Structure 1
Amino acid sequence: MIEQLKTFVQVAESGSFSKAAEKLFISSTAVMKQMNLLEKQAGVPLFIRTNHGVRLTKAGITFIKDAEFMLQYFQESLIRMHQSAQTNRHMVRVGTSMLNPCNVLIELWNGISDLYPQFGINIVHFEDDAHTLPTTYRMIGQSLDIIAGPFLTDNLKDYYRMLKLGSYRVCFAISRQHRLASRKTLSIKDLYGERLAIVNGGESAIIHDIRDFLIMNHPQIRIKDVPRLYDLDVFNRCEESNTVMLTLEAWADIHPSLVTIPSDLDIEIPYGLIYPLHPSQEVDQFLEIIKEMQGNVLAKVE
């Protein structure tokens, strides 16, 4: 009905079905069909049709004022509705950084956000600094609601809850000038004689197991322990020293001078959402939506 009213007002202003069609970006036939239907619904003629155009009948002149009022009221009602939705909308604060990108959550949310207009996402950037990242984690539940990223710090489980969304494959990152840089994949034996930096400041059991496996079964690789969390400085140092680094496929574009190559370790690191042990009611509702979506996706796969 609203579209018919818009077309009626435009025809009345243009004095022609064809001119109204041009302004409305629809066909003249569509305009005539709408007006014929409107007249049928009204039960009286609204236009006097001539070879030179159309003009309103007395009934049409009376109706045009009501039509303009209804259209204006409809637009004002839409504005009030959107304002009300914005007022009641809860913004979920999601932390993001180069090594903890929030795109894994944003891509999920964009697919269903229209169904949940009461929620929005406010992206908060933080730096990947091994010295300040522990402080950033402490912001969860205060100035941040959620951080999305790989689960590389096992002791986080003692202080936060975690929702797994998927897994990243373990790879090797090496300088583009390295002798192995052109390889499509790297086997463990390809690294014999090389230095391999293994970052494990977060005391990840998976990374710890990889380190133990290599030391026990491949002593030809020189392990360089990095007792800190991953940050950009680690990437820089490995590139400068031509040291191979244990990394994740998700970080392939972090450093332009490093190339990330899949390994034959066939090991994955889980990633997902890190959030407070006791999230707010709104954040908990938001997470329940994500969990339900994940459940539906898994059900379809199975």
Structure 2
Amino acid sequence: MFDHKIDTFLAVVESGSFNKAAEKLFISPTAVMKQMNNLESQLNLNLIKRSPSGVIITPSGESLYRDLVKIKEDTKRSIDAARIIENSNKKVIRVGTSILNPCSAFIDLWSRMCHCMLDFQLEIIPFDDDHNDILSVIENLGTEFDFIIGVCNSRRWFDRCDLYRLGKYKKMVAVPMDHPLACKSILRLEDLYGEKLIMVKEGDSPLNDYLRHDLNTNHPEIIIEDADYFYDINVFNRCLKENCALLSLECWKNVHPSLVTIPVEWDYSIDYGLLYSFNPSESVTMFINELKKSGI
């Protein structure tokens, strides 16, 4: 179910060497090294340090390893639960999860409501954050999964799904750990003068368009550069590679281990909540009604 490069990375970390990982995976050490090189190139991260005595995991590799182990454990539990559910009469709620749209907030919500959700069973389904494919993911709400929990101020998303609002996340700015601004606990807009700030391009998000207009009008010293309409991990890698600032969110502070996410002296925030189909199933409708009755 997972990319084989992920399994290789986990085996290398747990084994401490390419040779031992190769034995565990029943492949050659050369294949292990090739997969690790491809993974590091794909993510633009140094995950391990090679040495004659074996491999040493880097801080960024350690962060990724912890998260991947948790995702694999959560997914295994979900799959095991799904197999049990297949022969049961419980109503299944399927929740998509990804790096930028993690299901942790949904699980917190589920824990608060478990007393009234005895007839429901939760299934967690991983998906990729790819700015080219995210609209098809949204369009498949109700087919592949019932909910995604995430932020939304996109006209294209709202054309394809409904949103049950749960709260707001503050807009922040991320910079590389060695950037001059990384040591600040809070940013003034003047701190960004002369800096390049990456943000989604204009035309899809009213909130981001308003923020862009505000910056262009009142703080023209900030150099705005466009990302695509939707973020994926590549825009965080770009921020690191170009050693610049990135418009981000408080919920994304742990997305990239080499970036620091800093609050800004402004009042900009964005709605987040449950994204679901315009034509929800009976189970989804019942779940939403339970949320409303609980005052959530």
TM-score (structure 1 length as normaliser)? 0.67
SS in 2 for 1:108: helix
SS in 1 for 2:291: helix
More off after superposition, 105-114 vs 245-254 = 105-114
Residue 146 in structure 1 maps to residue 140 in structure 2: no
The one-letter code sitting in structure 2 at the alignment partner of 1:133 is: I
How many Å apart are 1:201 and its aligned residue?
A: 7.2
Percent identity reads 38
The aligned residue for residue 176 of structure 2 is 175
Alignment of 1:249-264 (within 5 A): 249-264=250-265
Alignment of 1:170-249 (within 5 A): 170-200=171-201, 203-249=204-250
Alignment of 1:1-302 (within 5 A): 87-200=88-201, 203-293=204-294, 295=295
How many Å apart are 1:139 and its aligned residue?
A: 1.5
Identify unmatched segments of 5+ residues in structure 1. Answer: 1-82, 298-302
Question: Could you tell me whether the CA contact under 8 Å between 2:202 and 2:208 is conserved in 1?
Answer: no
Question: Could you tell me whether the CA contact under 8 Å between 2:171 and 2:249 is conserved in 1?
Answer: yes
The one-letter code sitting in structure 1 at the alignment partner of 2:175 is: I
CA RMSD of aligned residues (A): 1.9
- Note the alpha carbon deviations across 1:184-229, whole angstroms, 9 max, x for none: 0001100000000012478111111101110011111111022331
Matches of 2:209 and 2:261 in 1, distance apart? Answer: 21
More off after superposition, 253-262 vs 277-286 = 277-286
Matches of 1:200 and 1:120 in 2, distance apart? Answer: 39
Count residues with an aligned counterpart.
Answer: 213
SS in 2 for 1:136: helix
CA gap of 1:139–1:106, structure 2 versus 1, over 3 A, is same
How many Å apart are 1:152 and its aligned residue?
A: 3.4
Matches of 1:127 and 1:191 in 2, distance apart? Answer: 32
TM-score (structure 2 length as normaliser)? 0.69
CA gap of 1:201–1:138, structure 2 versus 1, over 3 A, is farther
The one-letter code sitting in structure 1 at the alignment partner of 2:120 is: F
- Note the alpha carbon deviations across 1:99-130, whole angstroms, 9 max, x for none: 11111121011122133211011011101111
How many Å apart are 1:88 and its aligned residue?
A: 1.6
SS in 2 for 1:110: helix
The one-letter code sitting in structure 2 at the alignment partner of 1:155 is: R
The one-letter code sitting in structure 2 at the alignment partner of 1:237 is: R
Question: Could you tell me whether the CA contact under 8 Å between 2:165 and 2:272 is conserved in 1?
Answer: yes
Bigger radius of gyration among the two: 1
Question: Could you tell me whether the CA contact under 8 Å between 2:204 and 2:229 is conserved in 1?
Answer: no
SS in 1 for 2:110: helix
How many Å apart are 1:143 and its aligned residue?
A: 1.2
Matches of 1:213 and 1:177 in 2, distance apart? Answer: 28
Matches of 2:159 and 2:245 in 1, distance apart? Answer: 32
How many Å apart are 1:283 and its aligned residue?
A: 1.2
How many Å apart are 1:276 and its aligned residue?
A: 0.8
Matches of 1:204 and 1:276 in 2, distance apart? Answer: 20
SS in 2 for 1:134: helix
Matches of 1:124 and 1:200 in 2, distance apart? Answer: 29
Matches of 2:136 and 2:271 in 1, distance apart? Answer: 22
Matches of 2:224 and 2:203 in 1, distance apart? Answer: 17
SS in 2 for 1:99: coil
The aligned residue for residue 33 of structure 1 is none
- Note the alpha carbon deviations across 1:253-277, whole angstroms, 9 max, x for none: 0001100000012211000011111
CA gap of 1:88–1:202, structure 2 versus 1, over 3 A, is farther
